[in-house]
Amino acid sequence: MDKAKIIIHNKEYELPLVKGTEGEIAIDISTLRDTTGCITLDVGYQNTGSCLSAITFIDGEKGILRYRGYPIEELAEKTSFTETAYLLIYGNLPTPEEKKAFSQRLTENSMIHEEMVRFFDGFPLTAHPMAILSTMVNALSVYYPQYFPAEFDIETFDLMAARLISKIRTIAAYSYKHSIGEPFIYPRPDLKYCANFLYMMFHSPVKPYEIDPDIEKTMNILLILHADHEQNCSTSTVRLVGSSMVNLYSSICAGICALWGPLHGGANQEVIHMLEEIHNGKLSVRECIERAKNKDNRFRLFGFGHRVYKSYDPRARILKAQCDILSRKLNIKDPLIEIALELEERTLNDEYFIERKLYPNVDFYSGILYRMIGIPTNMYPVMFAIGRLPGWIAQWKEMHDTKPFKIGRPRQIYIGPVERHL
């Protein structure tokens, strides 16, 4: 294969090229410092590959997203979230026997330790559910202390993955019940993953909750679409933290914290605040767009733009269609849908957004669906975390399976004072 050539101070060096299965090419600069004394500089990792990965493929120009080779559109239509989770973590869709065993592990691990349940008493009712989630997930390492990956085998990993995937929805539902002062509802072994979550969230001893199949389907779609997105901020965080050989729970806790921010998984919450402001008359659509274009403030049009997608995010396309399907099925007329559609149309015709290739991303329509399901706004990033969890676990596993194993440790160019003395 061709090599890349680089000339530094008139001296030429050759660097190997690495080619992916979809034809992507990278220059392998891992020996650059030893041979040339230089490092590369790429603030915000805009053009830096941190690993070779066989999990998720994105073509940001064409708006393509595939997990383990399968188009996201097919997975959203034909699989359940737990099947997709299995696919991401283990590389293939489960056989019927594997599916049964995986579901069984999830069911057996769906409760949280009764001592941990008491932690909720210590959280203020106003606590943000993402703060609760990250705390509780890290606390799993207290109750299941397999601290160092080097100490455990695949069976232990399977168990840890099942514990996380199953308990995260129980923790999420309990944080909601805690915030509204209702008793916790224990998981039911006869319910599937999403139905069980909806039951724990919305059932109460005095008001039974009927599981609507359209809502259950929508939730499966939402979680599948969020399940992985290659080396984004939170996934890179999970890999970086995990690369110190810390346990899986703590690595995932770090990912949850990274996801919370409004530029990443917290954007879904901001989108709804923005649409509500427009609906309440505090802001017009035009003012909102002008504010987003104005560089004198840090306001952004939340739910728009993406580091990788320079065309319509395929996840946003599916969610937009699902908003239409669910609102018709449930006969909901949410004024925020009309506002979102108007905002999208205006921005897609606005020179600022066209020039910068800014399109709706996954967070633009997800909040509207969560609203229809009845999930409170501050829990939207939690829903993102539940969805993203299998991706984080798959990426953590892939990193640990890669030889040679390397701790993540970027370099820098120092620009502080040169040596000086007191």
Q: Is 260 in the site for ligand CMC (CB under 6 A)?
A: no
Q: Is 292 in the site for ligand CMC (CB under 6 A)?
A: yes
Question: Three-state SS for 247?
Answer: coil
Which of 363, 400, 401, 421 is labelled catalytic? Answer: 363
Q: Which is nearer to ligand CMC, 233 or 246 (CB)?
A: 233
Cα–Cα distance for residue pair 123/129, rounded to 1 Å? 10
- Name residues whose C-beta falls within 8 Å of residue 77's C-beta, 6 or more positions apart in sequence: none
Q: Is 300 in the site for ligand CMC (CB under 6 A)?
A: yes
With CB under 6 A as the contact rule, the residue among 58, 140, 362, 386 that binds ligand CMC is 362
Q: Which is nearer to ligand CMC, 304 or 396 (CB)?
A: 304
Region binding ligand CMC by CB under 6 A among candidate stretches 115-123, 140-148, 238-246, 360-368: 360-368
Q: Is 304 in the site for ligand CMC (CB under 6 A)?
A: yes
Question: How far from chain centre, in Å, is Cα 338?
Answer: 27
> Which residues inside 375-404 make contact with ligand CMC, applying CB under 6 A?
none
What tokens does 306 get?
Answer: 């993406």
* Shortest Å, Cβ 161 to ligand CMC: 22
Closest CA to 160 of 420, 396, 404: 396
- Name residues whose C-beta falls within 8 Å of residue 133's C-beta, 6 or more positions apart in sequence: 168, 171, 172, 175, 256, 382, 385
Q: Is 346 in the site for ligand CMC (CB under 6 A)?
A: no
Active site residue 158: no
Region binding ligand CMC by CB under 6 A among candidate stretches 131-139, 144-152, 182-190, 294-302: 294-302
Q: Is 128 in the site for ligand CMC (CB under 6 A)?
A: no
For 246, counting Cβ atoms within 10 Å of its Cβ (0-12 exposed, 13-18 middle, 19+ buried), the class is: middle
Residue with the CB atom nearest ligand CMC in the bound state: 305
Following DSSP, what letter does each residue of 275-342 receive, concatenated? HHHHHTTSS-HHHHHHHHH-TTS----TTB--SS-SS--HHHHHHHHHHHHHHHHHT---HHHHHHHH
Region binding ligand CMC by CB under 6 A among candidate stretches 79-87, 243-251, 273-281, 304-312: 304-312
Q: Is 356 in the site for ligand CMC (CB under 6 A)?
A: yes
* Shortest Å, Cβ 361 to ligand CMC: 4
Q: Which is nearer to ligand CMC, 112 or 224 (CB)?
A: 224
Q: Is 301 in the site for ligand CMC (CB under 6 A)?
A: yes
State the CB neighbour count (10 A cutoff) for residue 249.
23
Cα–Cα distance for residue pair 323/334, rounded to 1 Å? 10
Cα 71 to Cα 19, 289, 297, 399: the distances in Å are 21, 33, 38, 23
Q: Is 79 in the site for ligand CMC (CB under 6 A)?
A: no
Strands (DSSP E) along 42-135, which ranges? 56-59, 64-67, 70-71
Which of 128, 229, 306, 334 is labelled catalytic? Answer: 306
Active site residue 306: yes
Residues that bind ligand CMC (CB under 6 A): 229, 232, 263-265, 267, 292, 300-307, 356, 358, 361-363
Q: Which residues are catalytic?
A: 306, 363
